[in-house]
């Protein structure tokens, strides 16, 4: 075919893919790619694009192929092993995760585009078909074994069979549960939920719950739960922090919790095989914003339900620490093992944080 290409780039995977990650990254940079710091591309994996940008902290598992004319991957993205993403134009927002054995591809039409927002999760065995534009909003999950198609065709259109090519849009904060099938031309509104096994043939309004085959709205947005009060938020967060302490204890870390000037202070002791290491320190403010920051050791983590003032954010970052602001759902851009563990546990309950800097506004480059 004049316009075709090999289904699987076997030669690139066997030669380029087997290079160690640092050499692979250096090779892509030499060819004009913009790649941030601490990017890892696993054994056997290749990224093939005329225009390539990969943000700092991104991880690509082994045996994965990412191919397209334009590929833009944000910071701290994770792409699992044995995935195949073959799209004309691919964009993945920061802190999004694509699990193992995800397939994205289809007819390479000029308008083919897959756009995945920030903090999204695409679970294992998902099939995405972006022959026409497929846009997935921020904080949205496509659960395992689901399929989203922008085209539906096989039988002869000249014999009267229907053929459809149409874009699909899935809004922010949506939840597409396991084994769902989304047909071409569908728009799923912001905050909508699809029940497991739903076959979606028509639009789903924002905030609605739809289920069934074919899917229909079983609960409109007006009947969905509303925002919690400050007191209710504190009541919900308390058990989550208890669970976090239990998780740390299960993995051999000793946690001592105490009160200090309006803060709850966590001293987290850790030990290696050879020596005892300095404790980690976590400060938590849930009842109200304390009058002042306590003394901050290096590497401290600060979690606050009330909004954190900008000067406090900067003070934490000066100590090479990480702050997490639950009110604004923002966190420091810096990474730390303790902050990562805490953010991971909170994400299980739908609490996710955008990375920002307390010192200066972020620039828009995907490679920062």
| Residue 218 and residue 291 share a domain | no
4 belongs to a structural domain: no
Which residue segment(s) compose the domain that 28 sits in? 10-223
pLDDT band at 364 (very low <50, low <70, confident <90, very high): very low
- pLDDT higher than threshold 90 for residue 74: yes
Q: What is the pLDDT of residues 254-278, one digit of tens each?
A: 999 999 888 999 999 876 655 667 7
More confident residue, 103 or 222: 103
Q: What's the mean pLDDT when you consider all of the chain?
A: 91
| Residue 173 and residue 70 share a domain | yes
Nearest-angstrom CA–CA distance, 123 and 62: 17
Looking at residue 279, what is its pLDDT? 84
| Residue 216 and residue 112 share a domain | yes
Q: Is this model's pTM higher than 0.85 or not? A: yes
- pLDDT higher than threshold 60 for residue 177: yes
- pLDDT higher than threshold 60 for residue 112: yes
Write the CATH number for 129.
2.160.10.10
Q: What is the pLDDT of residues 340-349, one digit of tens each?
A: 999 999 999 9
| Residue 104 and residue 193 share a domain | yes
| Residue 189 and residue 264 share a domain | no
122 belongs to a structural domain: yes
pLDDT band at 226 (very low <50, low <70, confident <90, very high): confident
1 belongs to a structural domain: no
Lowest mean pLDDT among 16-25, 77-86, 127-136, 222-231: 222-231
| Residue 295 and residue 170 share a domain | no
| Residue 251 and residue 179 share a domain | no
Helices 230-250, 337-347: axis angle to 10 degrees equals 120
Torsion sign (Cα): 6, 8, 11, 16? positive
364 belongs to a structural domain: no
Residue 315 per-residue DSSP state:
H
| Residue 46 and residue 92 share a domain | yes
| Residue 141 and residue 16 share a domain | yes
More confident residue, 169 or 152: 169
Beta bridge partners of 84: 65, 103
Average pLDDT estimate for 279-298? 88
Beta bridge partners of 332: 356
Residue pair 184/203 in contact by the 8 Å Cβ criterion: no
More confident residue, 292 or 284: 284
Number of domains present in the structure of the chain: 2
Q: What is the pLDDT of residues 156-166, one digit of tens each?
A: 888 989 899 99
pLDDT band at 153 (very low <50, low <70, confident <90, very high): confident
């Amino acid at each position: 075919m004049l316009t075709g290409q090999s289904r699987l780039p076997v030669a690139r995977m066997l030669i380029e893919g087997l290079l160690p990650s640092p050499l692979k990254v250096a090779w892509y940079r030499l060819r004009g790619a913009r790649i941030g710091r601490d990017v890892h591309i696993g054994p056997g994996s290749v990224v093939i694009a005329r225009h390539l940008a990969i943000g700092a902290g991104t991880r690509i598992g082994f045996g994965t192929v990412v191919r397209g004319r334009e590929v833009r991957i944000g910071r701290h993205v994770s792409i699992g092993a044995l995935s195949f993403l073959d799209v004309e134009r691919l964009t993945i927002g920061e802190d999004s995760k694509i699990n193992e054995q995800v397939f994205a591809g289809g007819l390479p039409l000029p308008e083919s585009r897959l756009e995945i927002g920030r903090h999204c999760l695409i679970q294992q065995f998902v099939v995405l078909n972006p022959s026409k534009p497929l846009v997935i909003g921020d904080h949205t999950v496509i659960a395992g074994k689901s399929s989203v198609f922008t085209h539906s065709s096989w039988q002869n259109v000249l014999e009267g069979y229907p053929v459809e090519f149409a874009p699909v849009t899935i809004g922010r904060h949506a939840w597409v549960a396991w084994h769902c099938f989304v047909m071409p031309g569908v728009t799923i509104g912001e905050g909508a939920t699809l029940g497991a096994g739903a076959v979606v043939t028509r639009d789903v309004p924002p905030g609605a719950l739809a289920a069934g085959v074919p899917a229909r709205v079983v609960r409109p947005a007006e009947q969905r739960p509303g925002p919690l009060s400050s007191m209710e938020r504190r009541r919900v967060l308390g058990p989550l922090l208890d669970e976090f302490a239990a998780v740390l204890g299960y993995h051999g870390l000793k946690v001592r919790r105490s009160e200090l000037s309006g803060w709850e202070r966590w001293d987290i002791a850790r030990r290696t095989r050879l020596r005892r290491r300095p404790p980690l320190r976590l400060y938590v403010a849930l009842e109200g914003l304390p009058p002042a920051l306590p003394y901050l050791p290096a590497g401290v983590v600060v979690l606050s339900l009330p909004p954190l003032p900008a000067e406090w954010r900067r003070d934490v970052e000066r100590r090479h620490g990480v702050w997490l602001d639950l009110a604004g759902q923002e966190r420091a851009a810096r990474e730390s093992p303790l902050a990562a563990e805490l953010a991971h546990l909170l994400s299980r309950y739908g609490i996710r944080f955008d990375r920002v800097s307390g010192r200066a506004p972020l620039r828009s480059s995907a490679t920062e």
